[in-house]
């Protein structure tokens, strides 16, 4: 233990370290995270700050980019589209993901297989997966050709290049982020509670409603939060499979960068970042979510 905790000479300059050295055991946790902290500070936090600064001081110190937001109809609509899409996708992930998480926890021999099936798409690039959805959802893709062959439709439906396509593809990409925290919470439930419930005469449904569901809420909260915040930042998928009006906030930011309106792009980025941070901060105070944060620390 003490060997691992030796401070790295690269990470912390010696002068700053001296008082730390005196009772260094107390600072072991800090020393362990110091290399990553410095890495993130230099290569992530500072560039992000420099970028955000552009929203305030380009061309001179001004709040005009932020006041412009209030009159910008395009921003308002884009923000609404982004938010709306994230809500739908998160709900879709929850409805599809919860049963899978239960299956994953209950399965004995099949569990590793289920886990691989869940994680497999996780290891494939978003670009490739979006292309795959184009092949599946296209007017002459697998789904349309299949429904035609079965006689369920008489002409190909437009699925690709619609909001529905965006939602389907995003749910697919984000499902693991919902399933894994829920499965984690389900796994923590003491099996003797379930035996006690049925011993006291509860039907399987009552056991689910009154025991499993409440005890898994921390996982649901963590999964929902993670999925929602990630969904807010989607760019490639809606651009590739989405409809003509599916402009997300990230796409608008990219467009402003390309149109050389960098100050406004920075302003929009600040709004996106603040929204994500705001949701995370607000969610901490929700019952159950605090647990989820603590749970993920274990």
List residues binding another protein (CB under 8 A): 72-74, 77-78, 81, 131, 134-136, 138-142, 145-146, 148-149, 158, 160-161, 239, 243-245, 247, 251, 254-255, 257-260, 262
Which of residues 79 and 177 has its CB atom nearest to another protein in the complex? 79
Give CA torsion, residues 236, 242, 247, 251, to 10 deg. Answer: 10
Rounded to the nearest angstrom, the gap between the alpha carbon of residue 35 and the centroid of all alpha carbons in its chain is 25
Q: Note the residue count of the chain.
A: 298
Which of residues 43 and 74 has its CB atom nearest to another protein in the complex? 74
CA dist 161 and 137 (Å) reads: 9
CA dist 80 and 85 (Å) reads: 8
Which of residues 80 and 122 has its CB atom nearest to another protein in the complex? 80
- Shortest approach of another protein to residue 73 CB, angstroms? 5
- Shortest approach of another protein to residue 72 CB, angstroms? 8
Which of residues 11 and 58 has its CB atom nearest to another protein in the complex? 58
Which of residues 47 and 204 has its CB atom nearest to another protein in the complex? 47
Token look-up 């929009």 returns: 268
Rounded to the nearest angstrom, the gap between the alpha carbon of residue 220 and the centroid of all alpha carbons in its chain is 13
- Shortest approach of another protein to residue 236 CB, angstroms? 12
Which of residues 111 and 134 has its CB atom nearest to another protein in the complex? 134
CA dist 95 and 120 (Å) reads: 20
CA dist 251 and 171 (Å) reads: 19
- Shortest approach of another protein to residue 48 CB, angstroms? 16
Contact 255, 78 (CB under 8 A): no
- Shortest approach of another protein to residue 146 CB, angstroms? 7
Token look-up 């901490």 returns: 284
- Shortest approach of another protein to residue 38 CB, angstroms? 22
Which of residues 139 and 288 has its CB atom nearest to another protein in the complex? 139
Which of residues 14 and 149 has its CB atom nearest to another protein in the complex? 149
269's tokens: 């980025």
- Shortest approach of another protein to residue 124 CB, angstroms? 16
CA dist 220 and 54 (Å) reads: 37
CA dist 1 and 16 (Å) reads: 23
Contact 234, 248 (CB under 8 A): yes
At 234 the three-state DSSP class reads: coil
- Shortest approach of another protein to residue 43 CB, angstroms? 15
């Amino acid at each position: 233990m003490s060997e691992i905790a030796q401070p790295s000479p690269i990470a912390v300059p010696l002068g700053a370290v001296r008082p730390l050295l005196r009772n260094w055991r107390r600072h072991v946790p800090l020393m362990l995270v110091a290399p990553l902290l410095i890495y993130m500070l230099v290569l992530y936090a500072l560039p992000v700050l420099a970028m955000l600064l552009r929203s305030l001081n380009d061309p001179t110190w001004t709040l005009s980019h932020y006041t412009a937001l209030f009159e910008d109809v395009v921003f308002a609509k884009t923000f609404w589209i982004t938010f709306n899409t994230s809500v739908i996708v998160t709900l879709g992930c929850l409805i599809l993901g919860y049963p899978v998480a239960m299956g994953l926890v209950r399965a004995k021999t099949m569990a590793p297989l289920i886990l691989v099936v869940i994680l497999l798409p996780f290891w494939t690039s978003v670009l490739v997966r979006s292309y795959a959805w184009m092949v599946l959802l296209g007017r002459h893709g697998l789904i349309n050709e299949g429904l035609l062959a079965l006689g369920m439709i008489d002409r190909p439906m437009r699925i690709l290049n619609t909001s529905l396509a965006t939602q389907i593809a995003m749910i697919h990409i984000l499902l693991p982020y919902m399933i894994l925290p829920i499965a984690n919470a389900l796994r923590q439930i003491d099996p003797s509670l379930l035996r006690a419930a049925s011993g006291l005469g509860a039907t399987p449904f009552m056991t689910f409603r009154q025991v499993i569901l409440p005890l898994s809420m921390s996982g649901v909260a963590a999964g929902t939060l993670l999925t929602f915040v990630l969904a807010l930042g989607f760019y490639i998928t809606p651009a590739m499979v989405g409809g003509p009006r599916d402009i997300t906030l990230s796409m608008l930011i990219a467009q402003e960068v390309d149109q050389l309106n960098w100050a406004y792009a920075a302003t929009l980025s600040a709004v996106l970042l603040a929204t994500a941070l705001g949701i995370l901060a607000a969610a901490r105070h929700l019952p159950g979510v605090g647990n989820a944060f603590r749970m993920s620390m274990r």
